[in-house]
Amino acid sequence: MKERVKVFDEKMTKAYNHLLSEYQTIRAGRANPHVLDKIKVDYYGTPTPLQQVGNISVPEPRMLQIAPWEKSLIRAIEKAIMASDIGITPNNDGSVIRLVFPELTEERRKELVKDVKKKGEEAKVAIRNIRRDANDAFKKLAKEDVSEDEIKDLESEVQKLTDKYIKDIEKAVEEKSKEILTV
Protein backbone atom coordinates (compact mmCIF):
# COMPACT_ATOMS: atom_id res chain seq x y z
CA MET A 1 0.00 0.00 0.00
CA LYS A 2 2.63 2.55 1.12
CA GLU A 3 5.02 1.52 -1.69
CA ARG A 4 2.43 2.64 -4.23
CA VAL A 5 2.32 6.14 -2.72
CA LYS A 6 6.10 6.26 -2.20
CA VAL A 7 6.78 6.28 -5.97
CA PHE A 8 4.69 9.43 -6.39
CA ASP A 9 6.20 11.02 -3.28
CA GLU A 10 9.66 10.59 -4.86
CA LYS A 11 8.46 12.19 -8.09
CA MET A 12 7.03 15.15 -6.17
CA THR A 13 10.28 15.50 -4.21
CA LYS A 14 12.21 15.61 -7.49
CA ALA A 15 9.89 18.32 -8.87
CA TYR A 16 10.32 20.39 -5.68
CA ASN A 17 14.11 19.94 -5.64
CA HIS A 18 14.26 20.94 -9.30
CA LEU A 19 12.49 24.19 -8.41
CA LEU A 20 14.98 24.88 -5.61
CA SER A 21 17.93 24.26 -7.94
CA GLU A 22 16.35 26.62 -10.51
CA TYR A 23 16.07 29.27 -7.78
CA GLN A 24 19.76 28.92 -6.96
CA THR A 25 20.65 30.05 -10.48
CA ILE A 26 18.59 33.25 -10.16
CA ARG A 27 20.85 36.01 -8.96
CA ALA A 28 19.50 38.38 -6.36
CA GLY A 29 22.07 41.18 -6.52
CA ARG A 30 24.71 39.15 -4.70
CA ALA A 31 27.37 37.05 -6.31
CA ASN A 32 26.32 33.42 -6.13
CA PRO A 33 28.55 30.75 -7.74
CA HIS A 34 25.39 28.78 -8.66
CA VAL A 35 24.60 31.28 -11.46
CA LEU A 36 27.47 29.60 -13.33
CA ASP A 37 26.08 26.06 -12.87
CA LYS A 38 24.70 25.74 -16.40
CA ILE A 39 27.73 27.19 -18.20
CA LYS A 40 29.81 24.72 -20.20
CA VAL A 41 33.35 25.54 -21.38
CA ASP A 42 34.93 24.07 -24.52
CA TYR A 43 37.70 22.01 -22.89
CA TYR A 44 39.75 20.42 -25.69
CA GLY A 45 36.60 19.90 -27.77
CA THR A 46 34.43 18.65 -24.91
CA PRO A 47 31.72 20.83 -23.28
CA THR A 48 32.74 20.75 -19.61
CA PRO A 49 30.99 22.39 -16.62
CA LEU A 50 32.78 25.59 -15.59
CA GLN A 51 33.27 24.25 -12.03
CA GLN A 52 35.46 21.47 -13.44
CA VAL A 53 37.95 23.71 -15.25
CA GLY A 54 38.69 26.25 -12.54
CA ASN A 55 38.22 27.45 -9.00
CA ILE A 56 35.23 29.77 -8.40
CA SER A 57 35.42 32.06 -5.38
CA VAL A 58 33.48 35.04 -3.98
CA PRO A 59 36.11 37.62 -2.90
CA GLU A 60 33.46 40.36 -2.45
CA PRO A 61 29.66 40.23 -2.02
CA ARG A 62 29.04 41.30 -5.63
CA MET A 63 31.99 39.67 -7.38
CA LEU A 64 32.84 36.16 -8.54
CA GLN A 65 36.39 35.22 -9.37
CA ILE A 66 37.26 32.29 -11.62
CA ALA A 67 40.83 30.96 -11.53
CA PRO A 68 41.20 28.37 -14.32
CA TRP A 69 43.34 25.31 -13.67
CA GLU A 70 45.11 26.03 -16.97
CA LYS A 71 45.89 29.58 -18.15
CA SER A 72 45.11 28.57 -21.74
CA LEU A 73 41.43 28.18 -20.77
CA ILE A 74 40.90 31.87 -19.98
CA ARG A 75 39.66 32.67 -23.51
CA ALA A 76 37.34 29.63 -23.61
CA ILE A 77 35.86 30.49 -20.19
CA GLU A 78 35.36 34.11 -21.22
CA LYS A 79 33.66 33.01 -24.43
CA ALA A 80 31.34 30.61 -22.56
CA ILE A 81 30.31 33.34 -20.09
CA MET A 82 29.63 35.79 -22.94
CA ALA A 83 27.49 33.18 -24.73
CA SER A 84 25.49 32.40 -21.57
CA ASP A 85 22.38 34.28 -20.46
CA ILE A 86 23.75 35.67 -17.17
CA GLY A 87 24.23 39.09 -18.76
CA ILE A 88 27.57 39.98 -17.20
CA THR A 89 30.71 40.87 -19.09
CA PRO A 90 33.78 39.08 -17.72
CA ASN A 91 36.96 41.04 -16.86
CA ASN A 92 40.17 39.11 -17.35
CA ASP A 93 43.64 40.11 -16.13
CA GLY A 94 45.48 37.22 -17.79
CA SER A 95 45.35 34.86 -14.82
CA VAL A 96 41.82 35.17 -13.37
CA ILE A 97 38.40 36.22 -14.61
CA ARG A 98 36.26 38.50 -12.51
CA LEU A 99 32.50 38.90 -12.82
CA VAL A 100 31.16 42.04 -11.17
CA PHE A 101 27.43 41.88 -10.48
CA PRO A 102 25.74 45.26 -10.86
CA GLU A 103 23.19 46.41 -8.30
CA LEU A 104 19.76 45.31 -9.49
CA THR A 105 17.30 48.01 -10.52
CA GLU A 106 13.79 48.07 -9.08
CA GLU A 107 12.41 47.08 -12.49
CA ARG A 108 14.82 44.13 -12.83
CA ARG A 109 13.94 42.94 -9.33
CA LYS A 110 10.25 42.93 -10.26
CA GLU A 111 11.03 40.96 -13.44
CA LEU A 112 12.98 38.42 -11.41
CA VAL A 113 10.12 38.07 -8.92
CA LYS A 114 7.73 37.42 -11.85
CA ASP A 115 10.14 34.76 -13.09
CA VAL A 116 10.30 33.21 -9.60
CA LYS A 117 6.50 33.07 -9.42
CA LYS A 118 6.27 31.59 -12.92
CA LYS A 119 8.73 28.83 -12.00
CA GLY A 120 6.73 28.23 -8.81
CA GLU A 121 3.52 27.85 -10.84
CA GLU A 122 5.25 25.43 -13.20
CA ALA A 123 6.36 23.35 -10.21
CA LYS A 124 2.79 23.33 -8.83
CA VAL A 125 1.50 22.15 -12.20
CA ALA A 126 4.12 19.38 -12.18
CA ILE A 127 2.99 18.31 -8.68
CA ARG A 128 -0.67 18.30 -9.77
CA ASN A 129 0.19 16.25 -12.86
CA ILE A 130 1.92 13.70 -10.63
CA ARG A 131 -1.23 13.60 -8.45
CA ARG A 132 -3.37 13.01 -11.56
CA ASP A 133 -1.05 10.20 -12.71
CA ALA A 134 -1.22 8.66 -9.23
CA ASN A 135 -5.03 8.78 -9.17
CA ASP A 136 -5.20 7.25 -12.66
CA ALA A 137 -2.86 4.46 -11.53
CA PHE A 138 -5.00 3.84 -8.43
CA LYS A 139 -8.21 3.62 -10.50
CA LYS A 140 -6.60 0.86 -12.57
CA LEU A 141 -6.04 -1.09 -9.32
CA ALA A 142 -9.80 -1.64 -9.07
CA LYS A 143 -9.38 -4.25 -11.79
CA GLU A 144 -6.82 -6.07 -9.63
CA ASP A 145 -9.20 -6.81 -6.74
CA VAL A 146 -8.24 -3.78 -4.65
CA SER A 147 -11.19 -2.50 -2.65
CA GLU A 148 -12.68 0.95 -3.25
CA ASP A 149 -11.82 1.91 0.33
CA GLU A 150 -8.14 1.13 -0.25
CA ILE A 151 -8.19 3.17 -3.45
CA LYS A 152 -9.83 6.08 -1.59
CA ASP A 153 -7.12 5.81 1.10
CA LEU A 154 -4.38 5.90 -1.56
CA GLU A 155 -5.97 8.91 -3.24
CA SER A 156 -6.26 10.72 0.09
CA GLU A 157 -2.58 9.97 0.88
CA VAL A 158 -1.53 11.44 -2.47
CA GLN A 159 -3.76 14.47 -1.88
CA LYS A 160 -2.03 15.07 1.47
CA LEU A 161 1.36 14.87 -0.27
CA THR A 162 0.15 17.26 -2.98
CA ASP A 163 -1.04 19.77 -0.39
CA LYS A 164 2.27 19.53 1.49
CA TYR A 165 4.39 20.12 -1.65
CA ILE A 166 2.17 22.96 -2.89
CA LYS A 167 2.60 24.64 0.52
CA ASP A 168 6.40 24.08 0.36
CA ILE A 169 6.52 25.57 -3.14
CA GLU A 170 4.52 28.63 -2.05
CA LYS A 171 6.93 29.10 0.87
CA ALA A 172 9.97 28.81 -1.45
CA VAL A 173 8.43 31.34 -3.89
CA GLU A 174 7.76 33.76 -1.03
CA GLU A 175 11.30 33.41 0.40
CA LYS A 176 13.01 33.85 -2.98
CA SER A 177 10.81 36.84 -3.85
CA LYS A 178 11.63 38.44 -0.50
CA GLU A 179 15.35 37.78 -1.05
CA ILE A 180 15.21 39.44 -4.49
CA LEU A 181 13.24 42.47 -3.32
CA THR A 182 15.53 43.08 -0.33
CA VAL A 183 18.00 45.78 -1.30
pLDDT, residue 129, reads: 94
Of the candidates 100, 127, 156, which is a domain's last residue? Answer: 100
Angle (CA) 90 118 110, round 5°: 60
Residues 45, 135 within the same domain: no
Considering the domain architecture, whether residues 109 and 173 belong to the same structural domain is answered as yes
Sheet with 54-60: strands ordered across: 54-60, 63-68, 97-100, 91-92
Picking from 76, 71, 108, 107, the residue whose alpha carbon sits closest to that of residue 90 is 76
The DSSP code sequence of 48-107 is EEGGGTEEEEEEETTEEEEEESSGGGHHHHHHHHHHSSS----EE-SS-EEEEPPPPPHH
Indicate if 67 and 120 belong to the same structural domain: no
- Are residue 19 and residue 40 in the same domain, yes or no? no
Q: Which of 100, 117, 141 is the last residue of a domain?
A: 100
Q: Do residues 20 and 74 both lie within one domain?
A: no
Tens of pLDDT, residue by residue, the chain (183 residues)? 578 888 899 999 999 999 988 887 776 666 778 778 888 888 888 888 888 888 888 888 888 898 988 888 888 888 888 888 777 788 888 888 898 887 778 888 888 899 999 999 999 999 999 999 999 988 888 777 778 888 888 889 999 999 999 999 999 999 988 888 876
Give the residue numbers spanning the domain of 123. Answer: 2-25+105-181
Same domain, yes or no: 109 and 177 = yes
Same domain, 39 and 61: yes
Q: Report the residue count for the chain.
A: 183
Q: pTM (2 decimals)?
A: 0.70
Domain count, the chain: 2
Q: Which CATH number characterizes residue 76's domain?
A: 3.30.1360.40
Same domain, 60 and 115: no
Digit-coded pLDDT (tens) for 10-58: 999 999 999 988 887 776 666 778 778 888 888 888 888 888 888 888 8
Q: Among 100, 119, 154, identify where a domain stops.
A: 100
